[in-house]
A = this chain, B = another copy of it.
């Protein structure tokens, strides 16, 4: 796993991942650095959830979203990406040093985890 930057230490990230993965309906929580390397992973209750593969797609989603926003306003930045399907809800919160990703079952989850 990649080392987190000084600004946000690993313990803080691990605490966040552990807290979020305890929420009702949450299937997996990933913390990536902005290169898409996994810093912390909660493991997953969904056997198809393959962190390395999903991490690559998460990085692409955040980068493409950022391109879209920058084309509108170079000073603006993506704060949240949400993808919904019948079975799943993925929420991505990009920060300076990392990307927080939460996968949850929208039918079970009580409130947005992030």
Contacts and interface: CB of A to CB of B under 8 A. Distances in A.
Interface of A: 46, 48-50, 53-54, 57-58, 60-61, 64-65, 67-69, 71-73, 76-88, 90, 103
Contacts of A67: 57
A82 B85 contact: no
Given A54-B68, A79-B86, 8 more contacts: A60-B60, A61-B61, A61-B64, A69-B85, A72-B87, A73-B88, A77-B85, A79-B85
Given A79-B84, A79-B85, A80-B84, A49 B68 contact: no
A78 B72 contact: no
Nearest to A59: B64
A67 to B, nearest CB: 6
A82 B93 CA distance: 12
Contacts of A76: 85-88
Contact of A68 (B64, B68, B77, B83): B83
13 contacts: A54-B71, A57-B64, A57-B68, A60-B60, A61-B61, A69-B85, A73-B85, A76-B85, A76-B86, A78-B83, A79-B84, A80-B82, A82-B82
